[in-house]
Amino acid sequence: MMLHLSAFARLSYPLAGLLAGTAIAAEPTATSTAADRTSVAVTVYNDGRGLVREEREVELPAGIVQLRFMDVAEQIDAPTVHVGTLQGGALSVLEQNYEYDLLSPEKLLEKYVGQTVTLVQQKLRDNSTVEEEVAAKLLSTNNGTVWEIDGRIAINPSYNRVLFPSVPANLIAKPTLVWLVDATGAGRRTLEAAYLTGGMSWRADYVLALDAAEAQAGLQGWVTVDNQSGTGFENARLKLVAGDVHRAQPEMMKSMMMDRAVAAAPAQVQEEALFEYHLYTVPRLTTLKQNQTKQVQLLDAPAIQVGKDYVLRGGGGYFRSPWGGSTTKEKIQVFLKFKNAKDSGLGLPLPKGIMRVYKRDRAGSPQFIGEDRIDHTPKDEEIRLQLGNAFDLSAERRQTDFQKIADRVFESAYEIKLRNHKESAVTIRVIEPVGGDWTLLQNSHPFTKTGAFEAEFAVPIAPDQEAVLTYRVRVTY
CB 466 within 8 A of CB 457: no
Per residue in 5-32, pLDDT tens?
A: 333 333 333 333 333 344 444 678 899 9
Q: How far apart are the first and last CA of the chain?
A: 73
> CB–CB of 98/78 below 8 Å?
yes
pLDDT tens digits for 388-431?
Answer: 999 999 999 999 999 999 988 999 999 999 999 999 999 999 99
Identify whether the C-beta of residue 280 lies closer than 8 Å to the C-beta of residue 351: yes
d(CA 140, CA 50): 39
* Interval 86-101 mean pLDDT: 82
DSSP string, 384-436: EEEEEE-SSEEEEEEEEEEEEEETTEEEEEEEEEEEE-SSS-EEEEEEE---S
pLDDT range class, residue 465, cuts 50, 70, 90? very high
Q: Do the beta carbons of residue 127 and residue 47 sit within 8 Å?
A: no
Higher local confidence (pLDDT), 5 or 213? 213
* Length of the chain as a residue count: 477
Structural domains for the chain: 105-163 (no CATH), 307-332+390-476 (2.60.40)
Kindly give the pairing relationship between strand 187-198 and strand 327-330: unpaired
Please name which of 102, 106, 104, 101 lies closest in space to residue 144, comparing C-alpha atoms. Answer: 106
**Low-confidence winner among 250-259, 352-361, 462-471 (lowest mean pLDDT):** 250-259
Which of residues 467 and 325 earns the better pLDDT score?
Answer: 467
CA dihedral (3, 16, 30, 35) positive or negative:
positive
* pLDDT > 90: percent of the chain: 56
pTM of the full structure:
0.69
Tell me the one-letter amino acid at 190. T
Q: Is 267 exposed, middle or buried (0-12, 13-18, 19+ CB in 10 A)?
A: exposed
User: Residue 120: how many CA atoms within 13 Å on its side-chain side?
Assistant: 8
Determine contact, residues 240/43, Cβ cutoff 8 Å. yes
Residues 6+ positions from 118 with CB-CB distance below 8 Å: 133, 134, 135, 136, 162, 163
What is the identity of the amino acid at 425? A
Q: Is 317 left (phi over 0), alpha (psi -120 to 50) or beta?
A: alpha
The overall average pLDDT reported for the chain is 85
pLDDT, tens digit (0-9, with 9 covering 90-100), for 31-59? 999 999 999 999 999 888 999 999 999 99
Please give the Cα distance from 238 to 228 (Å, whole number): 15
Single-letter code of the amino acid located at 14: P
Burial, 331: exposed, middle or buried (Cβ in 10 Å; 0-12, 13-18, 19+)? middle
Task: Tell me what pLDDT residue 176 has.
Answer: 85
Q: Please, are residues 215 and 306 in contact by the beta-carbon 8 Å criterion?
A: yes
Q: Which of 147-156, 259-268, 379-388, 433-442 is the least confident region?
A: 259-268
Query: Strand runs (DSSP E) across 159-199, as ranges?
Result: 161-163, 176-183, 187-198
Task: Report d(CA 56, CA 162) in Å as an integer.
Answer: 38
CA atoms within a 13 Å half-sphere pointing along the CA-CB vector of 241: 24
Question: pLDDT at position 348, please?
Answer: 87
The predicted pLDDT at position 222 comes to 92
